[in-house]
Each structure stands twice: as structure tokens, then as C-alpha cells.
Amino acid sequence: MTLEINFDGLIGPTHNYAGLSLGNIASHSNAGAVSSPRAAALQGLTKMRTLLDLGLTQGFLPPPPRPAAHVLRRLGFKGSDQAVLAQVADEDLDLLRAASSASSMWTANAATVLAAPDTADGRVHLVTANLGTMIHRSLEADDTYATLRRVFSGEAFAVHAPLPFAAHLGDEGAANHMRLAANHGARGVNVFVHGAPRGGRFPERQALRASQAAARLAGVQPAALFAMQSAEAIKAGAFHNDVVAVANANVLLAHPQAFATRPDLLAELSARLPGLVVIETRDLSLEDAVASYLFNSQLVSLPDGDMALIVPVEARDNAAAWREIQTILAADNPVTKVKVVDLRQSMSNGGGPACLRLRVPVAAAARDQINPAFLLDHARLDRLTRLVETWWPRAIAPSDLTDPALWEAAMVAHAALETFLTAPTV
Ligand code: SUG
């Protein structure tokens, strides 16, 4: 029996609104606001609890140390962590902001995951994303690679290093990849969604060559499909495909303007996957899709075989999106349940339910090879919640990013988390 495990990013102690992501409307419009790392992390943990309560298996990935003094040292800054940070605060505030971002929380960008039935050697492949388009995100890649090797250390997994960093090889991981299959254990069709330099006002982050490399590294078979994002979707603020489409097992939920190559893609998918269910919204503008994050819902298979949509409160509060959700629930398809989750802290930086999780499909033997420190049950979730309540800062204003007291508080929080990870599991 193959299960899909959702690994959510634990939101880190420096979560803040620095407006770092061009083309991400929420990040842009909340630039300079006061964040609450503690509330953000608790909202994320409550989402994880919702999934556990639905009977699903839940894991998490820890945030890398931020501010990232260890990365700044590679740029020539010297001395203790505090000395490095003080020097960067003085010389290059933008660099300090990039090094303070807690953006690793959006683990849909951590790696592209290729399921064991679809790979040449029958292992689960994780290709760490280089996130090369945005400086603050690119600083995550090496730490993410180390974390993935720590979590998925068994031979059932192949964890690949990030692709070389180059504008032509931008790779944003699972946010631009969809797997469609009769079920999680069956051989599937892998769809890689990419952009291209088309002269639009926003960057197109995923390069076709990067997607091709991920498919090649894992030996994806049968041949993967490559689909171009529509320029209109990117222009409306869909900086990743998972802002306008989500797939689970044999169901594809998408905005009709998600793909530049929609007719070809849908025809090819239907030919390859008998039993494919395509749900497209009927009356939702791209603007409402981006504002509500309806397509950034998690679409999950429940133990009883039905599917649930885990939607952000913004999708409930957007009249057009909520109507579409009711239509989906009433129609003849596997989606029978909706759960509404409050992720406002993450949403204000453009991260919805699906951004916060990396899906890893595993058969029982592979499941046993996952480092148990990164799997959660209710007791461990309670412990993690208490840890966040104790150590995570309550608020970060933009000016706090240069405050040594914040750096110290973040280091203490990271150390407490490391103790949690290395303490015997309960
Ligand atoms: O890369 N936001 C992230 C949001 C990523 C969402 N992930 C998926 N769609 N899968 C990004 O744009 C904002 C950080 C800031 O502005 O401080 C940010 O990086």
C-alpha cells in the first residue's frame, strides 16, 4: 500500500514581510508589514493537525538557520555570526533581508519528487530545487539538500543536489510538477510545467531545461509531459503553477487559463490515463484565482477513498471561489469534503496550503526508511507546538531585522528545535 506523506515546512522564527518576490502579489502588497512568526508557525501546525485528524500521515521539514550567517560567510564576511550579521546590516541591507527570509517554509519549492513507480530504478527521487530566480530563495538550496538527505537517508530514496545555478536552469521544485495516476502506488504520468522568457513584467521562474533535467535525473518513464504556463496566468500573479492548478491521483483541478498548451495537454493526459477526471472552474477570473488561492488548496486522498480539499480562509471569503468549491462538491467526482484553514500569516507572503507542503508517495518499506524525527503524531505535534509557543518571536517589524536581539532569539529557537529533533522520539 502506497501512502502519500505531506511534509510541511515548519515556519521559521524570522518569518517576515520584506517584499522580496517580484511577481508574487501578496509578497509585494504586504512588504513592510509587521509579521508574527509565532502565529505563522502555529497556523502551519494547526494545518498539520487537520491533516492528521483526517487520518493522513504527516511529516515536517525544519527551517534552515536564519539569518543565514553561514551562507553570508561564503560571500566573504568574517567573524562570529553576530559580527557577520552586523557587518551585512551595515553594508548591504537587501542582502541581510534575503538572508533573513523564512521562505523555506514553502516546501513545495524544496524539490521535485518523482514517485518510485515512475522512475528508472524504482526509488523515490527528490531533485533539490535551486530556486535560482530569487536571491532570497536561492540561499535555501544547499541547506534544503542537506535536510532532505537527513530525512530521506535510506536506499529507497535518491536525493539529488540542486541543478547548477544559472538563469537558464531556474528550478522551483514540486510547485511546477504534477503527477497523475490511478492511485499513489500505480505508475503515473508526470507533468512538468515551465515558463519561458516572454518579455512579461514578471519573471518566469521555471526553465524547461530544469524540468527536463529533473525528469532525466530520475529516469522518468513513460516519457514525461512538459507544458508551458500561460503568460496571462503569470501576469495575473501565478508565479508558480500551483497557484492555478493542483493534481491528486486521477484528478486534475485547474483554471482553464493555467496552461498555454491546454488542449494538447488535456488530450495527451486523457489518452495516457483512462479514468482521468479534469475539473476546471467555470466562472472564476484569474484575479480571483490568485486572490483566493483556490488552486493552492491541498487535494488529498482520504483513507475512505474520497478526496478532500484543504482550502485557505481566503477561498471561503471570496464569493466566486466559494461558489466554485460548492459546485465541485456537488458534482460527480471524487472530491467530497472541504476543510478551511487559517494560514493568513503565510498567505500574506503568497504561500497557501499547497505551498507549505512537499508530497512524498511511499510504499511501506520506504516509509520505514524515513528518519522518524521528521514524522508527526499528535503527541509530537503537541511538543512542537509548545516549542514554538516558547521560543518563536511574537512580532517582527522591518526595522527588527537589523536588531542583534532578534538574531539571538532566532538562534535560540533553532537550537531548541534541534534538541527536539535529536531527543528520543515519543
Ligand atoms: O517564492 N514568497 C514565496 C512564496 C512561495 C509559494 N510557493 C508556492 N507557490 N509553491 C515566493 O515568492 C516572499 C518573501 C518575502 O517577500 O519576504 C516569498 O518568498
DSSP conformation letters of 174-204: GGGEEEE-SSTTS--EEEEEE------SS--
For residues 235-247, average pLDDT: 96
Look up residue 167 and give its DSSP letter.
Answer: G
**Per-residue pLDDT tens digits for 147-159:** 999 999 999 999 9
Q: What is the number of helices (H) and of strands (E) in the chain?
A: 17, 16
Does residue 426 register a pLDDT over 60?
no
Hey, which bits of 145-280 come out as E strands?
Answer: 157-160, 177-180, 189-194, 225-228, 245-248, 251-254, 277-280
> What are 70-122's pLDDT values in tens digits?
999 999 999 999 999 999 999 999 999 999 999 999 999 999 999 999 999 99
Joined together, the cell numbers standing for residue 223 give: 516519457
Helix axes 37-53, 378-391, angle to 10 degrees: 170
Three cell numbers, residue 61: 521539514
Dist. CA 325–CA 321, nearest whole Å: 6
Checking if the pLDDT of 423 tops 90, the result is: no
240 catalytic per annotation: yes
- Say which of 15, 240, 255, 414 is annotated catalytic: 240
**Is pLDDT above 90 for 167?**
no
Cis (ω within 30 of 0) for the bond into 334?
A: no
pLDDT range class, residue 318, cuts 50, 70, 90 = very high
Percent of the chain with pLDDT over 90: 98
Q: Catalytic site residue 160? A: no
Give pLDDT, residue 425. Answer: 57
- Which protein residues are within 6 Å of ligand 1, measured from CB? 17-21, 24, 27, 101, 103, 106, 108-109, 137, 175, 239-240, 242-243, 349-351, 355
Residues ≥6 apart with Cβ < 8 Å to 419: none
Nearest residue to 158 (alpha-carbon basis) of 113, 207, 204: 113
- Note the pLDDT of residue 373: 97
* CATH fold for the domain made of 2-66+101-422: L-arginine/glycine Amidinotransferase; Chain A (3.75.10)
Question: In the chain, what are the domain boundaries?
Answer: 2-66+101-422
Ligand 1 centroid to residue 172 C-alpha, Å: 11
CB count within 10 Å of CB 79 equals 12
- Here the contacts of 374-378 (C-beta below 8 Å, separation 24 or greater) are 374/7, 374/59, 374/60, 374/61, 374/62, 374/150, 374/151, 374/421, 375/5, 375/57, 375/58, 375/59, 376/48, 376/52, 376/58, 376/59, 376/60, 377/52, 378/49, 378/52
The CA distance from 364 to 366, in Å, is 6
What are the beta bridge partners of residue 298? 310
Question: What pLDDT score does 424 carry?
Answer: 64
The number of the ligand 1 atom at minimal distance from the alpha carbon of 103 is 19
Please pick, among 4, 172, 204, 324, the residue that the annotation labels catalytic.
172
The pLDDT of residue 75 is 97
Do 38 and 389 contact (CB within 8 A), yes or no?
A: yes
Annotated active-site residue 355? The verdict is: yes
The ligand 1 atom at the shortest distance from the C-alpha of residue 31 is 16
Task: State the pLDDT at residue 311.
Answer: 98
Res. 304: pLDDT tops 60: yes
pLDDT of 101: 98
**Average pLDDT estimate for 386-402:** 98
Tell me the C-alpha distance between 426 and 418, whole Å: 15
